[in-house]
Structure 1
């Protein structure tokens, strides 16, 4: 990436993200079984306009912290949309439990149940074919979100969309946070050799977002003038408990030589912190830990200085954008005001978060 392009993306990510007020309601599906949220709207709108719409959602894993928080926001914004428009918004939410075949069946069921639009958080980003074929056959638009499918698949039909962010931007910002910390805090260079020794907790084996986040994080540190040495890595599948186990294994292998933990998301960063808390190390002896997502618990860890920073993935903005897109598609509305890129994409910027500005991103804070 050229310097100008890199700076452009960095500036995009540094935009101040508006923190929306959020209520505490959420529609949750357990064990792949449907839980239906039916919200009754008022009697407004034109005589020939729809009085209600039905949105189907399938998430890859209900226990993913970022996804569950985004779904809570989505339901909150749907309630507000009802109040604004007088149109009842019915939301059916399914948990795919990390099974692509289960998710395919869920989409088929949503079509049978008469959903106007389907939102899919793909289990396998490389295998959306069954979902796309079902949707096209029945002329039901699909909004993919958070786990981006291959561009060629999104181009297969005109009524396919994606809402999310650019994975490489989060990697760049994570690398910037790490580099700035190392260059300004000599205590992080525990052995005094001028090299940042690190380990990586990766999301999924072969997952594009995990690969891109790691590559850009490391390359950005190097581009910032930090010499680095990779000690080891482990696949923790975006999961806090797995990350704790993997981090404990890395610590047994490398001991206090670890100076930095790069985690592809906050849940895995928190798992690393759990392992550090269970170790014999004092907090002053901990390596630097950096995550990505800016989940509520991740932000709390930044505030408590257990993580030196995280990269905020705008779940509120993504939930709001997906709700507005789903509403317009369901009601035959105008998409021109939704800032679609290439008629297909809605992308929200990331932002760097440290203890200096974490309060502005935490729940309940407003501009």
Structure 2
């Protein structure tokens, strides 16, 4: 009976997550009844644990798995697609019942698709999309809408700069789906407004120290003829802010900085008047992931994409939401 209640509750949670967006509601607030009698073993291939966002995502999955009584085997991909593929083959050999993959890059996962399919193990893509077909090559994708995040950032920026900006773009990791989408959504939006222009775009691998170093190099080589920094994540933005301050460029006065993630450090920076705004991309996806698994266990259909809505935090609401941030 407890197992049935768990599965039915999972269906309710998943339905609420895939229905109409509610931007005032944290998608990780829903709760499952416990304990569970599922005794499931789930494997998780995390791309790395360098970034605080990744650590928060892994910890959220660990928390939820423990709450549900599910054994979660976590393998660290160490920022290597080859290692992630090897790890998934290892998880298949261990006989796990589900595999969750946070993929490093967009393409090159055909071996993973075929290995999981041949073993009859449902595969869930987490937080980044890949070049496979949802519902065919893998059970479902759970994560944010990266294009929409970038559009939200661009629209805020257009209003803030009164449609006049020379923009430095700090991109994440090359070939990652979130980078492709955050670049596309942002560019397509600002291109509709005369006076908005990206003057330099460089990779900084989603890392704070690289964001600072790349920003320092841009200031040295390009000069100060820019008034906006758009970073694909908070870590790079915070690094860029350090570089700006070191060059006596006042963030949020001389140069507006906007980023994506909605981390606690970013919201603190917004409150301090340095970061202009950050668009939420929550790492707290465990509720939706395990709801999909439980629904599949009951033999019910699982949506091919489960999209978690985003919010934008700026000076008007950052303090109100800081306790929710990771």
Question: TM range, normalised to the smaller chain?
Answer: 0.7 to 0.9
Counterparts of 1:353 and 1:285, CA distance in 2? 18
Counterparts of 1:162 and 1:199, CA distance in 2? 31
Say if 2:304 is the partner of 1:357.
no
Counterparts of 2:190 and 2:153, CA distance in 1? 9
Aligned equivalent of 1:100: 81
Counterparts of 2:202 and 2:80, CA distance in 1? 22
Q: Is the 8 A contact 1:174 1:291 kept in 2?
A: yes
Q: Is the 8 A contact 2:191 2:197 kept in 1?
A: no
Aligned equivalent of 1:160: 139
Aligned equivalent of 2:49: 62
Give the 5 Å matches for 1:263-302.
Answer: 263-283=231-251, 285-302=253-270
Give the 5 Å matches for 1:75-90.
Answer: 75-80=62-67, 82=68, 88-90=69-71
Say if 2:187 is the partner of 1:218.
yes
Aligned equivalent of 1:261: 229
> Any idea what the Cα deviations from partners look like across 1:174-204, whole Å, max 9, x if unmatched?
1012112112xxxxxxxxxx73111110113
Any idea what SS the aligned residue of 2:174 has?
coil
Q: Is the 8 A contact 2:251 2:275 kept in 1?
A: no
Q: Which moved more, 1:300-309 or 1:141-150?
A: 300-309
Q: Any unmatched runs of 5+ in structure 1?
A: 1-11, 23-40, 83-87, 184-193
Counterparts of 1:311 and 1:13, CA distance in 2? 15
Say if 2:289 is the partner of 1:322.
yes
Q: Is the 8 A contact 1:263 1:292 kept in 2?
A: yes
Give the 5 Å matches for 1:102-121.
Answer: 102-121=83-102
Distance verdict in 2 for CA 1:136–1:151, change over 3 Å: closer
Deviation at residue 273 of structure 1 after TM alignment:
1.1
Give the 5 Å matches for 1:194-205.
Answer: 195-205=164-174
Q: Which has the larger radius of gyration?
A: 1
Any idea what SS the aligned residue of 1:134 has?
helix
Any idea what SS the aligned residue of 2:44 has?
strand
Counterparts of 2:198 and 2:304, CA distance in 1? 38
Distance verdict in 2 for CA 1:244–1:320, change over 3 Å: same
Say if 2:215 is the partner of 1:236.
no
> Any idea what the Cα deviations from partners look like across 1:53-85, whole Å, max 9, x if unmatched?
1111111121122222122222222333x2xxx
Counterparts of 2:310 and 2:158, CA distance in 1? 18
- Root-mean-square deviation (CA, aligned residues, Å) is 2.5
Counterparts of 2:166 and 2:78, CA distance in 1? 36
Q: Is the 8 A contact 2:158 2:164 kept in 1?
A: no
Aligned equivalent of 2:23: 15
Say if 2:98 is the partner of 1:125.
no
TM-score, normalised with respect to structure 1: 0.75
Q: Is the 8 A contact 2:28 2:287 kept in 1?
A: no
Aligned equivalent of 1:8: none
Q: Any unmatched runs of 5+ in structure 2?
A: 1-19
